[in-house]
Chains A and B, each alone.
Chain A
Amino acid sequence: MQHLADVEVYSVRTLREALELLSSVKGLRVIAGGTDLIVQLKTGVVPKTNLLDVSRVDELRYVRFEDGILRIGALTTFMEIYRSELVRRHAPLLAEAAFTVGSFQIMNKGTIGGNIVNASPAADSLPPLYALNAELKIVGPRGERFVRIQDFYKGYKKLDLMADELVAEVRIRPPGEGYVGHFFKHGLRRGDAIAVVNGAVLLRLSPEGIVRDARVALGAVAPTVVRSPSSERVLVGSRLSPEVMWRAAEAVVNDISPIDDVRGSAAYRRELSVNYVFMTLYRIARETGVVA
């Protein structure tokens, strides 16, 4: 256990102040809810450094729907996301995921921006963002830029983010009519557990039950969250029969590379990935009346 008594904390109220400090003070690490970072600092997983506390930058805490785009400020907590009518309407997958990130205390502290930047492959908010083709607004001294969530991660905990930049907003274009999907998560207990495998499946079904679009995202089974093009290919153009569901589920093993850790073996993660994609497809099929 490292002690943190001598860490300097710069506390700011505006985005402008935050960006100024990031540019002028070297080696600052940004802290929002701190639900991951504090633990990592204490255990020494992250080297001890001075902190920029952005938790009170209220201008980054919002959920808005403008110009057909759902916009979520980076400092919006998971409790706010879970309770947001806008999120439930336009990105229900993300609301489902927000409810599973941890206890109410964690949901009240943890922010979506923090979850994204912490870049755990098991982060619960990420599979929905991958399935929804979300985009990140990144701000810095050179202005703002937009990055697709898939492109933001360059490898295990490697981000397309400069030291003087901040993730400011998550943007989601609602997929539109006919889309139905679910988030899933396997933890080793029902309450407050880190995912052994998580994921999201989002489909667009024709009235005849033919899959027109398929998005399958999986977490905790590769250095970053991944989409499964193999599975998506099986699904698109097919009727959602149990046989197709199993084939699509099994195809995910082509796109994942799980490892053994204290929570589960690679082999078990592979089985879970397949079985959860099947269960989620089955659930969607039943909800849409494709199977009884």
Chain B
Amino acid sequence: MTAQRAVGAPVARRDAFEKAVGAAKYASDLFLDDMLWVAVLRSKYPHARIRRIDTSKAESHPNVVAVFTHRDVPVNRYGLFKKDRPVLCDDKVRYIGDPIALVAAETREDALEALKLIEVDYEPLPPVTDPIEAMRPDAPKVHDDGNICREVHLRLGDVDGAFARADVIVENTYRTGAQIHAYLETEAGISYMEDGKIVVVAGGQSPYRDRAEIAHALNLPEEMIRVVTPYVGGAFGGKDDITVQIHLALVTWKTGRPARLVWSREESMMAGTKRHPAIIKIRTAATRDGTILANKIEIVLDKGAYTALGPAVLDVAVENCNGPYRVQASQIDAYLVYTNNMVASAFRGFGAPQVIFAIERQMDLLAKKLGMDPLELRLKNALRKGDRYVFGNVLEGSVGIAQCLEVARSHPLWRSRGRNSCEWPWLRRGVGVAAAMKGYTIGALPDKGVVALELLRDGRVLVKGSFTEIGQGVIQAVAQIAADLLGVSVDDVEVVFADTEVTPDTSVTSASRQLFLAGNAVREAVEALRERVAELEGRLSGRRPARVEFSGGWVFIDSERRYSLQELARLLESTGLGRQVLGVYEVPRVEPLPGTLEIPHLFYMFGVTLAEVLVNLLTGEVTVSKVVSIVDAGRVINPITFTGQVEGAVAQGIGFALMEDAKIRDGYLLTRDLSTYLIPSSKDVPEIEVIPVETEEAEGPFGAKGIGEIGIISVAPAILNAVADATGVEPNAIPLTHERLYWLLKEHGLVEQLRRAST
């Protein structure tokens, strides 16, 4: 048993100080000598044929060095699931942010000015912007092969039988909006040539995958490209796909000069990906005592113009749409539909926030119909470890949903439900609950992570991995795990991250699993080091030791001999065995269910949110006054970063629920800046109480499990359930803006009722 000191300790992040004082460098902080400024010409129309592009005037602008169009791109299609996205548009534009040309100039001003000199002859085409309309056979086609990007149809268990013997049936339609990531740092990067290689330093979530996409588009071997991901000022899935990387590499490759491309906020809002808007219809069959028998669920996701990560998002939506409940049968029909809206792709929760919003509103509406307490209804149906889930998979990992619900049930906030006196006659108080689940890891898709562990000559340890530091605190957590496995202080662990030249491929930082992946790979690396010590000892003493243990800066061999790590490093080097080992971790998985890509997962996250709201009947304003987030966190590696992660997720969930309203009309984005697209400010985020329920994830490093996404997933339904509790009105679409709720309240006579009561 290894002594644990760093794991579980609230150690301050190693990047905290430099970030707090502004010394940390993000991609957008980097400037190079003799650097070209790149600007992107973007489509004016949501859907148009390109007849002609004339760049001659822009090219003759005095400070313009080069102008690029599709003619300059060797392989003009990229994308992770389907190579359908043009680097620079050729035949058509399919959404208003679609890139058409690049200008590289001596100054930013020159680049922006030259954009205006490029003439594009468009033939506007009718856009299709409603996913339901886009599914009709006569709808305008976004791509030649039709508007349905992907569909999934599953028939699980005896659905018809369940509906035939149901005592109650509840049916509702739910809608969720196009949330924008709105990170502090927009999409940004620089590029330059070094030793004959193109180097791209940019915000991202996977340097190796970005490198593969660049190499494909430029038709170059991957070894000719180096991708570095410095600190990233927020990603949330929005930097999972390519943003600036190919454009930068193209400019540097063609001109030989360093280049810089940083998207403006407006550009980020338009050309950056969004959360898939969803329309979800659920029909639930249940017995009188509240046992859920079956759900018939139809999901339509608005893909926008290109595939991006949509197919996997659809799978996650399908996998989680029944919620964390013992559902015996389900019929699921899910569609991913192209439109001429902006591109949707990964966003924290990755399909789960949409379907969990729907099923968790549905649970409250079912409870209402049954006359049951909504929390008891959830608890009655909650999954337990060892249960067979609706896809036939047995839940062998940790399943903490029932414990989370029990914590919620005894929480003072839940017990205060119904005590609703308010300061003003127009205010109503309510408390809501919602549960969440989501698989972490990438499920049935193959997934492998590698880290390198180097024993430094001074006895310190260096961990190298391509995980990206997107604000979540992974480098500190990896250091804590390595420290305890090797019995050294956390300050004696150095971490180098996200550089294809120096770090091995630790796969993508996404799906709430980077710590799980990297942590397990570190564990494997420590095993490899142990093996190497055994080999060393075999060489030195002629006898392989039975036990090698790391503790207190020493390695102990069969309790006979010990070396300091400094001595060990010297011996490994002088014997030629080498001071560096690799740890390879392949995520356990099962084969995917036919018709799906990644269903089922072996590992799931669970959580419960309690929300207290005040609703103003005369304005429709919902004030969230308290949130309790209860998370099945496995073993918590670092309580400070854990709490920070969950608090951030709650804030983002409040935005998703109430205010983040990307207004899109006929494919045009009306809310193009942060004064019209509002995200919660510090005054809009209340006290958040984060409660970890520490179950043990046997497969996880030190029992840890994923936590990056779970905190956002049940926030919106908890808030809307609280609004329903407060007012009796049942809103089923988000964002529930003031105006939307106001009209709903008015329609239900609450405004008039208040007036009558007061006069």
Contact = CB atoms under 8 A, between A and B. Distances in A.
Interface of A: 1, 3, 5, 103, 186, 188-194, 196, 241-243, 246, 262-265, 268, 271-272, 275-276, 278-279, 282-283
Contact of B739 (A268, A276, A283): A268
B759 A279 contact: no
Interface residues on B, range: 35 or more
A29 to B, nearest CB: 20
B618 A264 contact: no
A279 B758 contact: no
A147 B535 CA distance: 93
B681 A190 contact: yes
Contact of B671 (A1, A190, A242, A262): A262
Interface stretch (B84-92, B139-147, B403-411, B672-680): B672-680
B725 to A, nearest CB: 21
Nearest to A190: B683
A243 B757 CA distance: 11
B14 interface: no
Contact of B618 (A103, A262, A265, A278): A278
B759 A188 contact: no
A213 B739 CA distance: 33
Interface hub of A186, A189, A242, A246 (most chain B Cβ within 10 A): A189
A190 B684 contact: yes
A194 B675 contact: yes
Nearest to B425: A282
Contacts of A262: 663, 670-671, 676
A268 to B, nearest CB: 5
B758 A190 contact: no
B619 A192 contact: no
Interface of B: 108-109, 112-113, 264, 266, 424-426, 618-619, 621, 623, 659, 663, 670-671, 675-676, 678, 680-684, 737-739, 742-743, 746, 751, 755, 758-759
Mostly helix, strand, loop or mixed at chain B's interface?
loop
Nearest to B680: A189
Closest 9 CB pairs of A and B: A191-B681, A191-B683, A275-B618, A190-B683, A3-B109, A242-B758, A243-B759, A242-B759, A268-B739
Contacts of A243: 759
B650 to A, nearest CB: 16
A5 to B, nearest CB: 6
A279 B618 contact: yes
B112 A1 contact: yes
Given A190-B684, A279-B618, 14 more contacts: A186-B621, A188-B737, A189-B659, A189-B680, A189-B684, A190-B681, A191-B682, A192-B681, A246-B759, A262-B671, A262-B676, A263-B676, A264-B739, A279-B426
A188 B659 contact: yes
A153 to B, nearest CB: 23
B108 A3 contact: yes
A1 B264 contact: yes
A188 to B, nearest CB: 5
A186 B623 CA distance: 13
A188 B738 contact: yes
Interface hub of B424, B671, B681, B746 (most chain A Cβ within 10 A): B681
21 contacts: A1-B112, A1-B264, A1-B266, A103-B681, A189-B678, A190-B623, A190-B683, A190-B684, A191-B681, A191-B683, A193-B678, A194-B675, A262-B670, A262-B676, A263-B676, A265-B739, A275-B619, A276-B618, A278-B618, A279-B618, A283-B424
